[in-house]
Amino acid sequence: MEILVCVKRVPTVGGKIAVTPDGQEVDTRMSGFSISPHEECAVEEAVQITEQAGGTVSVLTLGPEAAIEQLRGALALGAGRAVLLETDGREFGPIATASAIAAEVRAHGYDLVLLGNEAADTGDYQVGIRLAHELGWPVATGIKNLSVSSDGVVARREYRGVEEAYELPLPAVVTVKEGINLPRYPSLPGRLRAKRAAVERSSPTWAAEGLRKEALRVPASGKHQATVLGNGADAVPELVRVLDELGVLS
Amino acid sequence: MTVLCLVELDDSDPADASLRALTLARTLGDTSVRSVVFADSDRVPVSTLADYGVTDVYVIEPGTLEGYAPQAWARVLAGLATETGATAALAAGTDRGNEVLAHLGAITGLPMAANCTLVTPDGGRTHRLVRHRWAGLLLEDAVMEAPIALFTVATDAVAPVSAALPSGGTPPGPPVPAAIQVHVHKPELAEADLVVRAVESPASAGGVSLATARVVVGGGRGVGGADGFAPLEELADLLGGVVGVSRVVTSEGWRPHKQQVGQTGTKITPELYLACGISGAIQHIAGCAGAKHIIAINTDPGAPILAHADYAIIGDLHQVIPALVAALRAR
């Protein structure tokens, strides 16, 4: 089984998120970079599938040269091949991103393409679906359980307390969510192999899209520091009074 | 102008997230808001839709299209958008709403803006909008140029407001239309649009869902381990709510991932979020910022969660929760 996993380099945000003075990007002076939990799980899922069924996991990212760090991270977890679609720093929209990935899929040939359900930073919720339409493949999104056989996949997710199961013929696109598995930690041999591995490169063309970012900003929070009701169990009577006032005790 | 809005149902009521989408749809100017519902005609909540300013409902019955098939739903919306000359088509920013609108974007070749909090027509084919990035931790101001503006509405940003406010207040849109028209719509669908279709079965857990719960009792690292959740469950039961947890709790395997509140888990919009032993990492705040009220119980008065909470108790949840349960039982 030939599997392609698409990942994205995004800033690692911890306790705080800030925007650069020009309002165009997240301020990364104090942060590292990583891939989102959804995508870590996509890599893990692909590695597990090929451990069972054989085949190769390729990992792809569209981003600047520095995103090779994220490709090596995925190689350390068991991916066998890495592809960088190198950008000149401009942000690709979802249409251009899907079309760049589709070109790699056509050139190499895959049975299954896995992505995270949405990118952590842009939250566009659509690259996997646009990719599937470009390829004429079926797609399931937000998947939390995946079983693969030679001719198809069964992909499951939960929606409003109901389990949905989708049967897809291969080749197919599936976007996954954190919780589908518990990703492993990279092994030492894995990390050494990843360090030496070659990265295939190409440079897709950027194109303007009908949705144009003007600026990013941190939302004004209506809240400030909490009113402290008291310490320990002694504060419980006051807490009960507040709960009653909020109308949640009815 | 015509605006087309996909409405999802909870049994026979519009889903809360869809009412929020309809509320935003009404503000798009001098428009006729038309909704699309996939259900039996007799389950369509016609009067609630009328209250929210809907002039026309297109009903696609199970006989025409059975169950949830995202690409087919999008194909139906594409057809209706053309037929009605819609200048915008939208849905709630739910898993289904985002999925169907993404398909609609791919089918039409148009851009789609996910999880908007504000959309304003700006003449011709232009809409100015504000949307979530980083699951709402940041806002993006953007401009969309398209013959049909495609977008979803963030589920925790726009409050659902009926156009027919009972008393006081100015309805944020045109007056309620005198009559609402129901059209049973029977589009022709291609096989290719029906390849991906959900087979539904009741989920294992059941009960109140995290996304729609009125009260959520949250547990984080401070709970200490898998066996520490019983008092939180008991409290949630007493309050008619459910337990939600932080990411560390699910990655430690203490609780299943479906209980995770956060950027990569569930976004919640309860009346009350009681965050116990949760420090308040920014990814967690992305999931709980939609709560109307937040109360934190934490041993650390410097925990980031206190900057997002209305009230706090400084103390050990292992003492506070049992005392609270006892006090509530004694009432």
Q: Tell me: the pLDDT tens digits for A136-183?
A: 999 999 999 999 998 899 999 988 878 999 999 999 999 999 999 999
- For residues B24 and B154, membership in a common domain is answered with yes
Q: Is residue A246 part of a domain?
A: no
The answer on pLDDT for B175 being more than 60 is no
* Mean pLDDT of the region A98-104: 98
Q: Is residue A224 part of a domain?
A: no
Mutate to test the interface with A, among B133, B284, B306, B318 (most CBs of A within 10 A): B133
Among B118-127, B140-149, B175-184, the minimum mean pLDDT is found in: B175-184
pLDDT band at A127 (very low <50, low <70, confident <90, very high): very high
Cβ distance B145 to A144 less than 8 Å, yes or no, reads no
Specify the CATH number for the domain of residue A180.
Answer: 3.40.50.620
pLDDT band at B157 (very low <50, low <70, confident <90, very high): confident
Cβ distance B250 to A228 less than 8 Å, yes or no, reads no
- What is the overall mean pLDDT for chain B? 92
Cβ distance B319 to A233 less than 8 Å, yes or no, reads yes
Per-residue model confidence (pLDDT) at position B168? 46
Q: What percent of chain B has pLDDT over 90?
A: 85
CA B304 from chain center: how many Å?
25
Q: Range of B263's domain?
A: 210-329
* Mean pLDDT of the region B37-50: 95
**Single-letter amino acid, residue B98:** N
Mutate to test the interface with B, among A211, A213, A224, A241 (most CBs of B within 10 A): A211
Q: Count the domains in chain A.
A: 1
A227 touches chain B (CB under 8 A): yes
The answer on pLDDT for B113 being more than 90 is yes
Specify the CATH number for the domain of residue B316.
Answer: 3.40.50.1220
Cβ distance A120 to B134 less than 8 Å, yes or no, reads yes
pLDDT band at B207 (very low <50, low <70, confident <90, very high): low
**Single-letter amino acid, residue B203:** A
Per-residue model confidence (pLDDT) at position B31? 76
The answer on pLDDT for B268 being more than 50 is yes
Q: Is residue A208 part of a domain?
A: no
Per-residue model confidence (pLDDT) at position A106? 98
In chain B, which among 108-137 make CB contacts under 8 A with chain A?
109-115, 132-137
* Mean pLDDT of the region A116-140: 97
Among A177-181, B63-67, B89-93, B203-207, the minimum mean pLDDT is found in: B203-207
- What is the overall mean pLDDT for chain A? 95
Chain B environment of A227 (Cβ under 8 Å): 310-312
Between A244 and B201, the higher pLDDT residue: A244
Q: Is residue A167 part of a domain?
A: yes
In chain A, which among 7-36 make CB contacts under 8 A with chain B?
13-17, 19, 26, 36
Cβ distance A167 to B199 less than 8 Å, yes or no, reads yes
* Mean pLDDT of the region B150-168: 83
pLDDT band at A16 (very low <50, low <70, confident <90, very high): confident
Per-residue model confidence (pLDDT) at position B167? 46
Where a domain ends, among B169, B194, B219? B194
- Angstrom CA distances, A138 to A172, B138, B261, stand at 5, 32, 30
- For residues B160 and B99, membership in a common domain is answered with yes
Distance CA A112, CA A139 (A): 10
Task: For residue B219, give both structure tokens.
Answer: 């547990």
Where a domain ends, among B194, B220, B247? B194
Say if CB A120 and CB A10 are below 8 A apart.
Answer: yes
Q: Is residue B204 part of a domain?
A: no
Quick one: DSSP state of residue A21? T
Chain A environment of B146 (Cβ under 8 Å): 210-211
- For residues B248 and B114, membership in a common domain is answered with no
Q: Count the domains in chain B.
A: 2
Length of chain B, please? 331
Q: Is residue B253 part of a domain?
A: yes
- For residues B186 and B218, membership in a common domain is answered with no
Q: Range of A175's domain?
A: 2-202
Of B103, B141, B320, the CB nearest to A232: B320
The answer on pLDDT for B309 being more than 90 is yes
Nearest Cα residue to A76 out of A10, A127, A7, A11: A7
- For residues B16 and B162, membership in a common domain is answered with yes
Of B203, B309, B327, the CB nearest to A226: B309
The answer on pLDDT for A117 being more than 60 is yes
**Alpha-helix residue ranges (DSSP H) falling in chain A:** 37-53, 68-76, 94-108, 127-135, 188-196, 236-245
Q: Is residue B203 part of a domain?
A: no
Specify the CATH number for the domain of residue B9.
Answer: 3.40.50.620
B239 touches chain A (CB under 8 A): yes
Per-residue model confidence (pLDDT) at position B1? 84
* Whether pTM exceeds 0.95: no
Per-residue model confidence (pLDDT) at position B331? 87
Mutate to test the interface with A, among B73, B254, B320 (most CBs of A within 10 A): B320
Cβ distance A139 to B196 less than 8 Å, yes or no, reads yes
The answer on pLDDT for B189 being more than 90 is yes
- For residues B178 and B284, membership in a common domain is answered with no
Per-residue model confidence (pLDDT) at position A238? 96
- For residues B214 and B190, membership in a common domain is answered with no
* Mean pLDDT of the region B135-162: 95
pLDDT band at B177 (very low <50, low <70, confident <90, very high): low
* Mean pLDDT of the region A125-133: 98
Among A14-23, B35-44, B219-228, the minimum mean pLDDT is found in: A14-23
- For residues B244 and B175, membership in a common domain is answered with no
- State the pairing for strand pair A56-63/A152-159: unpaired
- For residues B234 and B188, membership in a common domain is answered with no
Cβ distance B138 to A242 less than 8 Å, yes or no, reads no
Q: Is residue B205 part of a domain?
A: no
Mutate to test the interface with A, among B196, B210, B238, B284 (most CBs of A within 10 A): B196
- For residues B149 and B282, membership in a common domain is answered with no
- For residues B223 and B281, membership in a common domain is answered with yes
Q: Is residue B85 part of a domain?
A: yes
